[in-house]
Structure 1
Amino acid sequence: MRKQRNKFDEEHEEHIDESWLIPYADILTLLLALFIVLFASSTVDKEKYQSIMESFKSELTGTKIESTNTGLSVKPSDQKKEDQTPKEPPATQAAAPAPSKDEIELNQLKEKLAKYVKENDLDAVITLQDTKRGVEISLKDVILFDPGKAELKSSSFKTLNVLVGLAKTVDNPISIEGHTDNVPIKNAAYASNWELSSARAVSVLHHFESKKIAKKRLQFVGYGEYRPIYPNNTKVHKQANRRVNIVILRKA
């Protein structure tokens, strides 16, 4: 009986073989490293991922990484260069087209007209406008006609001749347009303000034609009382509405 008990005690006292724990721990370590790499690679850019994989390969295989730029983060100097890369300047607005020859000539004509009006103190009877149609010269009837008449006063020739001379510096069409107030005409020569406004426009047209303005450039129209610039409610407004407009038209 004693011999059997000794044998049992000897077997019980033997240590369990733990050599398998070493490779098991290595496997767990590698798995942990693998999961860390997978997690890190899911949150970095392509360059960082490549660096991680190369580092991991070096550790597992013992090979040397030749590149000195590998690692988890971009070099500060590289990041600084990226930040300092000049941005493209914002697209500039398209330059406005250069004015046409016609526009240049009309602008020069308007400047000359404005100078003449100012130098001769004609601001009260002649006004200038640059409109979509062209350069519009508006002359009150008092500078051109006696009340209710369509014959040009001799005193108007000086001003008209200056306008003719300036009109010759361009070859644009010219529209001559007569206007009246709303007071009905009271003489037998004209049946209505239409006839009076038309007759006055024709008188100016004939004067231009007599000074060698080409006939094909000239046209006239009588608007009567139907295109006033002010309500016909005062003497001043009525006088302003009685006018002849000479429009140097823009070319089509």
Structure 2
Amino acid sequence: MRKLRNKFHEEHEEEIPEAWLLPYADILTLLLALFIVLYAAGIIDQSKYNAIMDSFKVELTGKPIKEDAGPSPTKPNKPSDQAAHAAEGNSKEEEAKQLDQLKQQLENYIADNHLQDVITLSDTERGVEVTLKDVILFDQGKANLKEISFQTLNMLVGLIKTVPNAISIEGHTDNVPISNAEYKSNWELSSARSVSVLHYFSTNGISQDRMQFTGYGEFKPLFPNDSDQSRQSNRRVNIVILRAAQ
């Protein structure tokens, strides 16, 4: 009887399947690997951690991990952009050279004709500025150009034609109120004087689309209007050969 019972137990034990052991072992292996990864995450950098996790994702899913394209590299300047910058730099250099030559010619003319008392010249951020006192251009309270001004204006016309720059013509007066019926205020007188110079330039071949005018009246004096000399200096017309950026 005991022999039969032992035989039954042996046969029963032999029939127990062992297929479950393989997936069980795989699970244990993966869990062990996961714990190792979690532990290692605290001591390795993020890039290495991500690489390890990606490897396990491949093993578990069987699908490859798509690589992150990352930030787009900075695009270098196109050849056309570089050419444009170079052309702009060359243009500015050429303009500066032309304005320097014009200024030198103006200085020579003023010195040769002893006009330092009535014409001044300055190089500003806006451009080359020629200041003519009203006595060389107009009679008192008038906006009609005097004939003696034509020679100087013709010289300016000739030099202005050598450059392509825009021209700003700006009239100024002193603070003495205008006392004739032709102009109601110094604003109108200063504007009329600017227009007279503009028309003279236009008649002598300077394109109208290059020119602009304004009248400031008494509101932008060079000096306090407290003496005859200061008031005379404030009565003026500025002719500004503007830089291209203006």
Q: Is it true that 1:180 corresponds to 2:173 in the alignment? A: yes
- Superposition deviation, residue 100 in structure 1: 1.1
Distance in 2 (CA, whole Å) between partners of 1:111 and 1:155 is 23
**1:144 aligned partner:** 137
Amino acid corresponding to residue 229 of structure 1 in structure 2 = L
SS at match of 1:117: helix
Match of 1:203 in 2: 196
> 1:126 aligns to what?
119
Alpha-carbon distance between aligned partners in 2 of 1:191 and 1:101, rounded to the nearest angstrom: 45
Task: Show the 5 A alignment for 1:4-153.
Answer: 100-153=93-146
**More helix per residue: 1 or 2?**
2
RMSD in angstroms over aligned alpha carbons? 1.0
Q: Within 2, Cα distance between the matches of 1:240 and 1:101?
A: 34
- Quick check: 1:251 aligned with 2:244? yes
Between the two proteins, the alignment pairs up a number of residues equal to 156
**What code does the residue aligned with 1:108 have?**
Q
Structure 1 alignment gaps of length 5 or more: 1-96
Aligned equivalent of 2:160: 167
**Structure 2 length-normalised TM:** 0.62
For 1:42, the equivalent position in structure 2 comes to none
Distance in 1 between residues matched to 2:150 and 2:131, nearest whole Å: 16
TM-superposed CA distance for 1:165, in Å, is 0.3
Give a deviation string over 1:89-112, Cα, whole Å, max 9, x none: xxxxxxxx8861111100110000
Greater Cα radius of gyration, structure 1 or 2: 1
Q: Tell me the distance in 2 between the aligned counterparts of 1:168 and 1:113.
A: 13
Name the aligned partner's letter for residue 230 of structure 1. Answer: F
SS at match of 1:209: helix
1:190 aligns with 2:183: yes
What is the distance in 2 between the residues matched to 1:238 and 1:215? 31
Find the counterpart in structure 2 of residue 70 from structure 1: none
Unaligned runs of 5+ in 2: 1-88
CA distance in structure 2 between the partners assigned to 1:199 and 1:154 by the alignment:
17
* One-letter identity of the residue aligned with 1:177: E
Distance 1:193 1:230 in 2: 17
Q: Provide the TM-score with structure 1 as the length reference.
A: 0.61
**SS state at 1:100 partner:** helix
CA offset at residue 240 of structure 1? 0.1
